[in-house]
Amino acid sequence: MNKNEPFTPESWLRKLQEEYNHLPDHYELSEEEFQAKLKEAKETMRGHNWRQRGQEIFCTSCPFSHGFFVSPDQQLVGIEIDMPVIKKIKEGK
């Protein structure tokens, strides 16, 4: 988007396409790579105070906002060894 170009939805979309067009459409990981990434992600979840609002599980202890989403049939039921414990909600409740 040119600095002198007026802002329009089309100019904004064009700017986004220029910025992000070089990114791949998807990534593929081997099972080993996936397990390593999963372990790394789990380690970063330690030491936070987690709360649930709808499908979002978010941290209340850090100065910046972060969290993750779960499916509608999952619920945060507690914290064990500094990790959020998420369980599937049984039907009929």
In tens, the pLDDT along 33-69 reads 989 988 888 777 777 888 999 999 998 988 888 889 9
What's the structural domain count of the chain?
1
pTM beyond cutoff 0.85:
no
Q: Is residue 2 part of a domain?
A: no
Handedness of CA 64, 68, 72, 76 (dihedral sign): negative
Tell me the residue range of the domain where 21 lies.
Answer: 9-88
Rounded distance between C-alpha atoms, residue 85 and residue 57, angstroms:
11
Q: Is residue 93 part of a domain?
A: no
- Most confident listed range (3-7, 8-12, 48-52, 78-82): 48-52
Rounded distance between C-alpha atoms, residue 91 and residue 93, angstroms:
6
Closest by CA to 35, choosing from 23, 43, 45, is 43
Between 45 and 10, the higher pLDDT residue: 10
Between 23 and 84, the higher pLDDT residue: 84
- Mean per-residue pLDDT over the chain, rounded: 84
